[in-house]
């Protein structure tokens, strides 16, 4: 049987040089099946010059759904007719064997991921999951940051129809945590197939358009908690989110809610380290930004 066709959706906004690097890496895949690339421009005029019919073909589109990352991804999914769909952000790079290893592992599965390596200030740190399948319980306990959206591979039909995984959630505030939401929805249908090799290099740091929008971070986390009761029902997972809410609140200057979320964190899991970060920031011993910078150097975040 021939290898399934793969459509690669690359949402982009105002990062032309990084985008070209991303496209080049996708076009260098050693995958035996057909690969099609769709670049979806969000909130800016598309560069139609990137389109090519040379294999693997590149199509250029403008986001015609809700503005933001989620809408751009759904635009790409709906424009494809391939068996599988993969996501790649416009500042990340795939290793040449990424698709071939994931498709081989997917078999009859519905959704696959792989581990990543984080690039920050010219240093590279691998982030592995230590497992071959991922369940809802695991995702409720931890966001599992190594399951980055640039590693996602799914059956296209499952992302389109009701009662299956469904499309990317366009109501996620600022299109943040929409990837975590999609993972949980996928794992509810069937355990996620994971290739525990760092097959994607993720550029870490301040390249995100929402890096300092703390109110958006807070809104998206509260959206996740309301959408997925499994998180609130898992004390370590709830504490992790409460700790993030505390950190982002103090960074936003909202000390009242920062104290409230810190208390919630300790109540759910007194060992949660984000409570310590929030308390240190509230006491002005350090700042959330300084801690975040230190964590990024080791390939981690808050």
* % of the chain residues with pLDDT over 70: 94
pLDDT of res. 207: 52
Query: Dihedral sign, CA of 164, 170, 171, 172?
Result: positive
Pairing of strands 192-203, 133-134: antiparallel
Please tell me whether the peptide bond between 56 and the residue prior to it is cis, using omega within 30 degrees of 0: yes
pLDDT at 107: 92
User: Which pLDDT score is estimated for 251?
Assistant: 92
* Sequence ranges of the domains in the chain: 6-203, 234-296
pLDDT > 70? residue 210: no
pTM (predicted TM-score): 0.93
Cβ 247 vs Cβ 240: under 8 Å: no
* Mean pLDDT calculated for residue range 90-114: 97
Average pLDDT over residues 178-190: 97
> What pLDDT sits at residue 176?
93
Between CA 216 and CA 222, with CA 219 as vertex, the angle to 5 degrees is 150
Mean pLDDT of the 87-105 span: 97
At 237-294, the pLDDT tens digits run 999 999 999 999 999 999 999 999 999 999 999 999 999 999 998 988 778 888 777 7
Instruction: Please state, rounded to an integer, the average pLDDT across all residues of the chain.
Output: 93
Q: May I ask the CATH architecture of the domain 6-203?
A: Alpha-Beta Complex (3.90)
């Amino acid at each position: 049987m021939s290898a399934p066709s793969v459509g690669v959706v690359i949402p982009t906004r105002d990062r032309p040089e990084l985008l070209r690097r991303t496209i080049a890496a996708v076009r260098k895949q050693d995958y035996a099946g057909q690969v099609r690339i769709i670049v979806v421009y969000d909130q800016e005029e598309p560069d139609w010059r990137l389109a090519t019919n040379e294999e693997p073909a590149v199509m250029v589109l403008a986001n015609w759904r809700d503005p933001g990352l989620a809408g751009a991804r759904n635009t790409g999914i709906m424009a494809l007719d391939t068996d599988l769909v993969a996501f790649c952000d416009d500042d990340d790079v795939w290793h040449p064997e990424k698709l071939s290893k994931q498709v081989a592992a997917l078999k009859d599965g519905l959704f696959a991921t792989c581990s990543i390596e984080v690039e920050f200030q010219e240093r590279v740190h691998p982030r592995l999951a230590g497992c071959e399948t991922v369940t809802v319980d695991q995702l409720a306990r931890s966001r599992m940051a190594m399951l980055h959206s640039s590693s996602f591979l799914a059956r296209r039909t499952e992302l389109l129809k009701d009662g299956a995984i469904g499309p990317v959630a366009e109501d996620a505030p600022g299109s943040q945590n929409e990837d975590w939401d999609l993972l949980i929805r996928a794992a509810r249908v069937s355990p996620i197939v994971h290739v525990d090799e760092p097959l994607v290099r993720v550029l870490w740091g301040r390249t995100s358009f929402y890096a300092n929008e703390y109110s958006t971070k807070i809104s998206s986390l509260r959206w996740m908690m309301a959408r997925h009761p499994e998180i609130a029902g898992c004390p370590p997972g709830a504490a992790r989110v409460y700790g993030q809410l505390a950190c982002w609140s103090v960074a936003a200057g909202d000390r009242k809610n920062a104290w409230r979320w810190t208390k919630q964190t300790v109540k759910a899991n007194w060992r949660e380290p984000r409570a310590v970060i929030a308390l240190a920031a509230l006491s002005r011993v350090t700042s959330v930004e300084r801690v975040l910078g230190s964590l990024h150097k080791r390939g981690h975040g808050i």
